[in-house]
Amino acid sequence: MSASAPASAAGPTASAGPAEAAPAALEVRGLTVVHPPRGGRGPARAVDGVDLRLEQGEILALIGESGCGKSTLARALVGLTRPTSGEVLYRGTPLRYTGSALKAYRRHTQLVLQDPGGALNPRQTVFDAVAEGPRLHGLKEGLEERVRSALSRAGLRPPEDFLARYPHQLSGGQQQRVVIAGALALDPAVVVADEPVASLDASVRGEILQLVLRLRDELGLSALVVSHDLGLAWNIADRVAVMYLGRIVEVGTVEDVLLRPVHPYTRALLSVLPGPDRGRRPTVLTGEAPDPTAVPAGCRFHPRCPAWAALDGPGREAAGCTVRELPVLTADPGAGRQAACHLVDAAADTPAGGAGTAGAPGGAAQAPGAEDGRG
């Protein structure tokens, strides 16, 4: 963990060296969140050792199935969940879990939840909903102007038309814009959005994603977007991190990870994206989302891994997926694309048994999982 960011670890401000990279907008090191035992089950390792950086002005997509720990990670990032171990750093400074430190922190880092209908109080006007954050932070001066400006930036124009409305008088897309305006009202540097478009209609989805892109371009906002939707990552993200059972299993630029995936899990996710090409053979993983109360030994993906299943006895023995622990992927974006897979490591970034290689040209871009030769 200390090796991952040698420069910024020494001096939190990192303003000294001109060529020095700015500290990450947000970074987590060795982050682990264990939920206490419940209902006869053991403790749940929801987030199980994650190093991740969100650069300033970057949009990072965190992708995974329900139960993989992505929402817990998002909550830990905004200080709503206190990690069991590891730390969250905002611009190089570790987050302290005292009331005042958290309050100050939340001015800079805002969480946008899915299901705007549920996030908004039905008895609050749009004005009150957006003004709630500034009021909590004692920003009474120019409050109305602050709210108007936030609504306007969130695409609700002219803001006057919306101030006195109630959530039920708004469409789903408008409600989500109000939620986003509520986050923007504090002029945050970072927005963490958990499934911001999952509950929205197809036609509205693009509108909200365009807004996220524009906020980054115009305000320099950094955003971590949590989703199970790989298309969202393609639409707006710079980098993508794929999470499985509490760990990041593959991380890199959107082009690397989505067009030339090497981890068998990423490849499977991409292969099942619905589309008009009905001739292709998707790699449908059997079974349900994995159980964080019973993390398998070795590679945690091996019970569902098609690449592992395709190996013969001696091959499995040699690969050791069931026994050898995998290293935690480093948070340093300079490390390029990384994947936590014994079978990838063995063949120097070549996906196990796969036809498409890591260095394949963009020609295979259309349906990355389609040429999947396994199975």
Partner 1 sequence: MTLLEVRGLGVSYRSGGREVPAVRGVDLTLDRGETLGLAGESGSGKSTLALSLLRLLPAGTRVEGQVRWEGEDLLTAKWSRVRAVRWAGASVVFQGALSALNPVRTVGDQICEPIVLHEGATRREARRRAGELLESVGVPVRRLDGYPHEFSGGQRQRIMIAMALACRPDLIIADEPTTALDVMVQAQILQLLADLVKEERIAVLMISHDLSVLAQMCDRLAVMYAGQLVETGPSAQLLTDPRHPYTRALAGAFPVIGDPASRRAPSGLPGDPPNQAQLGAGCAFAPRCPEADADCRTGAVQLWPAGPGRDAACLRVLPDGVLPDGALRDGAAERPADGADAVPAEPGGADATGERAGEQAEEQAAPQPAAGTSAGGQS
Among 93, 94, 171, 336, binds partner 1 (CB under 8 A): 171
- Which run of H or of E encompasses 213? helix 202-219
DSSP 303: G
The tokens for 256 are 């690397």
**Under rule CB under 8 A, residue 275 binds partner 1:** yes
Least separation in angstroms between residue 193's CB and partner 1 is: 14
Binding-residue pattern over the window 285 to 324 for partner 1, x denoting contact by CB under 8 A: xx-xx-----------------------------------
**Under rule CB under 8 A, residue 236 binds partner 1:** yes
Range list of β-strands (E), the chain = 26-35, 44-54, 59-63, 85-90, 93-94, 109-112, 190-194, 222-227, 239-244, 247-253, 338-339
Q: Which of 70, 27, 68, 33 is nearest to 49 (CA)?
A: 33
Among 154, 258, 328, 331, binds partner 1 (CB under 8 A): 258
**Under rule CB under 8 A, residue 368 binds partner 1:** yes
Least separation in angstroms between residue 67's CB and partner 1 is: 9
Give the type of residue at 34: V
Q: Which part of the chain contacts partner 1 (CB under 8 A), choosing from 30-38, 144-152, 165-173, 315-323?
A: 165-173
Q: Which part of the chain contacts partner 1 (CB under 8 A), choosing from 24-32, 111-119, 169-177, 330-338?
A: 169-177
Q: Which of 337, 375, 370, 325 is nearest to 49 (CA)?
A: 325
**Under rule CB under 8 A, residue 181 binds partner 1:** no
Residue 258 or 319 with smaller CB distance to partner 1: 258
Distance CA(336)–CA(349), nearest Å, equals 12
Residue 143 or 213 with smaller CB distance to partner 1: 213
24 in Cβ contact with 56 (< 8 Å) = yes
Least separation in angstroms between residue 130's CB and partner 1 is: 21
Q: Which of 199, 205, 215 is nearest to 154 (CA)?
A: 215
Q: Read out DSSP for 83-115?
A: -SEEEEEETTEEPP-SHHHHHHHHHHEEEE-S-
**Under rule CB under 8 A, residue 262 binds partner 1:** no
Q: Which of 107, 109, 185 is nearest to 142 (CA)?
A: 185
Residues numbered 12-71 forming contacts with partner 1, rule: CB under 8 A: 65-66
Least separation in angstroms between residue 171's CB and partner 1 is: 5
**Under rule CB under 8 A, residue 98 binds partner 1:** no
Residue 147 or 258 with smaller CB distance to partner 1: 258
Residue 20 or 277 with smaller CB distance to partner 1: 277
CB atoms within 10 A of CB 183: 24
**Under rule CB under 8 A, residue 169 binds partner 1:** no
Distance CA(299)–CA(372), nearest Å, equals 21
Distance CA(278)–CA(360), nearest Å, equals 24
Least separation in angstroms between residue 322's CB and partner 1 is: 22
Q: Which part of the chain contacts partner 1 (CB under 8 A), choosing from 71-79, 99-107, 160-168, 284-292?
A: 284-292
Binding site for partner 1 (CB under 8 A): 65-66, 171-173, 201-210, 213, 228-231, 234-236, 254, 258-259, 268-270, 272-278, 282, 284-286, 288-289, 362, 365-368
